[in-house]
Structure 1
Amino acid sequence: MAAVTAPDAQTEAAGTRNAYRTDEIEGIGPAYAAKLNAVGITNTNHLLHKLATRKDRNAIAEKTGISDKRLLSWANKADLMRISGVGPQMSDLLEAVGINTVPQLAQRVDVFTLREKLRLSNEIGRSFVRTVPPEATVGSWIAKAQKLDRVIQY
């Protein structure tokens, strides 16, 4: 989980963390990482900002041969990973319980139920993380998601 760039001012203010390398995101292996690197996308900050709009995603899809749907999925993960404590594995676990975007996380109100869904998905399904965070941490993610500026346009 190596951070590769310093956070921007809004990221810092929102209590979020540094960027991850693109290949740390589930589904971006060496072949996709090379295609993304060729167009200047080497970390999650690049993914988020260079894939923010449908027009951006279509342009990158055209250049790389990667589908715009896949690019959007990766941009959504990068968006979730702006929240401190949500890294590559945790973004996969959130996705497993139906939270694919920051706005979806921001709309959650029942912290206990979300935490239980995360715990059950992690224990019964694929083990994404060693320990599912406590309710207080999950609640802080929701609060941070509510404060983050919306970057991705759908």
Structure 2
Amino acid sequence: RLPSCRVEVDGLAASLDREESVEVVLYREGDEAVARRAGEELRFVPEDGAFSTRGDESLLPYPDALERSWAALQNPNAGDLIISAAPGFEFADLGGRHHAGGGSHGSLEVGDSEVPMLAVGLEPPGGIVEVAPAVLRYFGVEPPASMRDAAHVA
């Protein structure tokens, strides 16, 4: 949100409800994260190694959606709103750069979230945050606590 913007974050999120290019809008409201899609909301917060939710969890039908959304909202470089583009759309940045016609990244969609992986000689990791710990363990190195905890809540 630009400094001159007088609209509150929840109002900005609501204004995107009818935009066909917007799949879901994420923002923080107090201690909770909010995922908003087409006027519906899902609120979530980490609790005891999982997430406590209020609302329709089907609003985030993506791989590791709660974990990834929460981590993105904790990023000190994130803006007040994080907008995931709908399939077939790409957003340009403030400088006008984009990835249209090339590789996309950053949306919560499966195509932007999952990559093929071949694991030989070790148990296949269940998710991307488990790759580095699995490789370290294979070579006899105990992963640091930050890696062991990453698979739970960021």
Q: Do they superpose with TM above 0.5?
A: no
TM-score by length of 1: 0.33
Greater RCO (CA < 8 Å, at least 6 residues apart): 1
* Structure number with bigger Rg: 2
TM-score (norm 2): 0.33
Answer 1 or 2: which has greater helix percent: 1
